[in-house]
Structure 1
Amino acid sequence: MKKLCLICVLFVAGWLVSPVLASDHRAEDIAKKVDELYRSNSSYSELEMAIQTPHWKRTLVMKGWSKGTDQTFIRILKPKKEEGVGTLRIKTEMWNYLPKIGKVIKIPPSMMMSAWMGSDFTNDDLVREFTLLKDYTFKMITPSDTQPGRLYLEAKPKRDVPVVWARLLIEVRESNFLPVSEKYFDEKGGQIRELVFTEITDFGGRKVPAVMTLIPAGKPGKKTVIRYLKLKFDPPIQSDTFTLRHLRRPQEGLADDQTGDAQSVSTKKKEHPDLADHDGRVRSCGLFHCMVRWDLQRRHPGFHRESTGFHTNPSEGIPGPSIPV
């Protein structure tokens, strides 16, 4: 699959380029840097998710693996009552493993809007994948509350693209174009949520924000904080990571990072060509960075049900034979 987001930079004489056009090109170039910040062919992460509401707080510790844009695997390590809980995503389908009952449960469409582990993320957030440049156009703006050393981009959907967010306001550092915040607005102009990036950290030679805080608008005292403890870009991933068999084995992945050598990854493509990353250039995304951004089919992006666990329906069963087991 060809890379989705390529910017065509036209080098023409300066007197031929209007200030508005030049500004738009710069905005797209900055948006591309933001869009690709966490992307790689594969990724492995260890992270904490701190969930805070006016009534309770709790922290989940988990490991995550991703491959291309179609495969994600998450295993929860702590707290004890959730240890071994797993989530597998393949394209737009998703399954949870609940060790207390020893069952894999497929998430039905009716439950996709439910909260994931009681956080401000939904099941739908987890399965959706998008790129800013594919779905939005950009321009540089100067808000009234502009801060020194900051640049601001306004993003609006391209014509006939079925996105929910009617407008995004992206703030980046002028020195390195690393994101500071992303604000999401609905069709009525109301802000629905804000994603704040902090604690720039070097992970294997790539500097990215290690902490992302998702704050829903109009819900005082409520937020979800993601903190990357370890983040590897382009590691080889063991051949059976993105399978139901692996999902059913809660102890696997608790003590190691489930990465393998290049040969095992190649073997996986031969065994399951439908899950291969096409021409090898599909770009994976930092586990929760893409989770938080995308809700393609959501009609009410600020709404979800509170939960201290997964909302599931056992009657939906597990997937058919087209998914590797």
Structure 2
Amino acid sequence: MKKKKKIISICLLVLFIVSSLNMTVAAIDGREVMERVDERDTGDSRHALMGMDLIDSDGNVRPRVLEVWSQKVDFERDLDHTVMVFHEPSSIKNTRFLQKENDGEDDDQWIYLPDLGRVRRISGGQGGDSFMGSDFTYDDMKSREIDDFDYELLDEEEFNGYECYVVEATPKNPEDEQYAKTISWVTKEHYIPVKVEMYDKDSEELYKEMRVESEVKKIDGIWTVFSTLMTDLDSGHKTNLYVKKRDNNYLLEYNVDINDRRFTQQFLQTGR
């Protein structure tokens, strides 16, 4: 089975689990840390209601609400399909996004914009574009092959109360990636990246940072993150992505039945 590493993924930021908490920690290297991150069980499917707050450098907030469905479609090759539907505000209501992971090549992505009234495919040249005005790009949401990176264990240190491995990932083919490198703080207890630094491809300077803002808790036996903050360090703009409540309960569920028709371009076009 090919191993895929999701460096940043909006829809799967809440879906991390340790495959075994009894592994020894001696003689571990950077690649092994990231393999353990990759080998987590994220369930056969996931469904969540999420908030996305766009925060400018002055602290002004533009809130958004979206719903996410994700389902594993190929267990042998570890491939998922994911769809997102924006509910609020009214200006972007019914905007829908679909991503289909591929084995050995870039994931397919499409978006439906109600104002245009049609489904548009996201081309490779648009990978660095902002997703819906957020600090996440289309490339941030794509899956990554573990074998496409070199890893180095830089340090072991505490972050936000968690003992972490600090791992640098450098692309073997820099022209194929949007970042010169990433550095991840991965918890020793859960193998969850609770902080990720992203370095600019041209200047090689740090310019984006993702931090987990919530405690790590178990939902249906799966270690779960409820809030993540992405910051553009150049502009000061931030995106807070978090699980929302419905009827006073957090709407986050695993291993639920999802109709395959939801992961189609027809659903993007019609919403059904």
TM-score by length of 1: 0.60
| CA-CA distance at 1:125 after TM superposition | 3.1
Say whether 1:90 aligns with 2:100.
yes
Other-structure match for 1:130: 144
Tell me the amino acid that sits aligned with residue 93 of structure 1. D
Which protein has greater RCO, CA pairs closer than 8 Å, 6+ apart? 1
C-alpha contact (below 8 Å) 1:38/1:208 kept by paired residues:
no
Other-structure match for 2:90: 80
Distance 1:110 1:134, change over 3 A: closer
Structure that is richer in strand per residue? 2
CA RMSD of aligned residues (A): 3.1
Distance 1:53 1:38, change over 3 A: farther
SS of corresponding position for 2:111: strand
| CA-CA distance at 1:66 after TM superposition | 2.1
> Of 130, 138, 146, which residue of structure 2 is paired with 1:115?
130
| CA-CA distance at 1:47 after TM superposition | 0.9
Identity of aligned residues (%): 20
Tell me the amino acid that sits aligned with residue 45 of structure 2. S
- Report the Cα distance in structure 1 between the residues aligned to 2:200 and 2:147, rounded to whole angstroms: 19
- Between Structure 1 and Structure 2, how many residues are aligned? 230
Structure that is richer in helix per residue? 1
Other-structure match for 1:33: 36
Q: Which has the larger radius of gyration?
A: 1
Say whether 1:246 aligns with 2:239.
no
SS of corresponding position for 1:245: helix
| CA-CA distance at 1:238 after TM superposition | 0.3
- CA displacement 1:234-278 (0-9 Å, x = unmatched): 33320211112211223x4xxxxxxxxxxxxxxxxxxxxxxxxxx
Say whether 1:58 aligns with 2:62.
yes
Distance 1:5 1:108, change over 3 A: closer
Tell me the amino acid that sits aligned with residue 57 of structure 2. P
Tell me which stretches of 4 or more aligned residues in structure 1 moved more than 6 Å. none
C-alpha contact (below 8 Å) 2:155/2:167 kept by paired residues:
no
C-alpha contact (below 8 Å) 2:52/2:63 kept by paired residues:
yes
Say whether 1:156 aligns with 2:156.
no
SS of corresponding position for 2:242: strand
Say whether 1:214 aligns with 2:218.
no
C-alpha contact (below 8 Å) 1:60/1:77 kept by paired residues:
yes
TM-score by length of 2: 0.70
| CA-CA distance at 1:61 after TM superposition | 0.8
SS of corresponding position for 1:48: strand
C-alpha contact (below 8 Å) 1:23/1:139 kept by paired residues:
no
| CA-CA distance at 1:146 after TM superposition | 5.7
Distance 1:48 1:215, change over 3 A: same
